[in-house]
Amino acid sequence: MKTVLALCMRNLKEFVRNRTRLIFSIIFPFFFIYVFSAIFRNDYIENPISHMLAGIAIATVFDFSLRISSTTIDDMASGFMKEVLVSPVSRLSVAGGQFLSSAVIGTMQGLLIIIIGFFIGFRITTPLTIIYMILAMIFVGFVFAGFGLFLATNTKSTQTFQVISVAITMPMTFLSGAYIPLEHLPPTLTYISYINPLTYAVALFRTISLERLATPQSQLIAEELAFEIGGFVVTPWISALFLLGFGALFLLLSTISFARTDFSKVSRGAGEQIDW
């Protein structure tokens, strides 16, 4: 457990020290809120700013949880990871440290957006909602931390990982309903969004942050907090189960991949390819 916490604190300190990235990662989401929040205005959504801000907050958790995994590649290339593993520390503990740091940093970033959101119109009626939101962000952070570490341990350079992460995060983000309502997407892209795990993370987090847990299914569907697919209604609780399965799968795959990775073959060069 000490190893897990030590690695988490190390990654957290490195993140906080990069103030430029921290500032711009806070400013950038509010640009999208300013540009796209009007799209969410309809007869069913009472507060479009809150609706969109909740989606962007959890999309930010997803993005940071996945991208923080790139530090694994830096640690491999610099030799730090080999030094850690020379000590009597199991690779499982090291992987756990990476999972925890990704989830914690992603949650912190999402919380910063929520806090600033209170100054532009985001509202809740009970402090208990904040606790539920934090738990949901930690949950989503762990779900996608495994996915990010799986990509990182199968990538042979930081530059390659960055290209792959952008190629994955951009489509997943814009096809999740976080920035653009799914009803505005072409039918083909709407069906693709139904297999996007981030879609269910956005729906679950919005349900919690907008305090819609006791809302009837018809209203949840109208607000895109639930989805009707082939006559079957995917409620927020089913979304949580879907995310739990997705996260468990990639936590397992990433742990196995991390345990089998040959760190001597990892570099920061751009010429390496992905080794699946």
Q: What is the pLDDT of residues 99-119, one digit of tens each?
A: 788 888 888 888 888 888 888
| Structure tokens, 259 | 């345990």
- At residue 274, the pLDDT reads 40
CA gap 217, 143 in Å, rounded: 26
Contact 106, 65 (CB under 8 A): yes
What is the distance between the alpha carbons of residues 66 and 142, in angstroms, rounded to a whole number?
A: 10
Q: How many CB atoms lie within 10 A of CB 34?
A: 11
Q: What is the pLDDT of residue 53?
A: 86
pLDDT (tens digit per residue) in 173-215: 889 888 888 888 888 898 899 999 999 999 999 999 988 888 8
Q: Which of 40, 32, 144, 35 is nearest to 99 (CA)?
A: 144
- At residue 257, the pLDDT reads 79
The Cα 213–Cα 22 span in angstroms is 32
Residue ranges, the chain, pLDDT below 50? 270-276
What percent of the chain shows pLDDT beyond 70? Answer: 76
- Cβ 29 vs Cβ 173: under 8 Å: no
How far apart CA 45 and CA 196 sit, in angstroms, is: 23
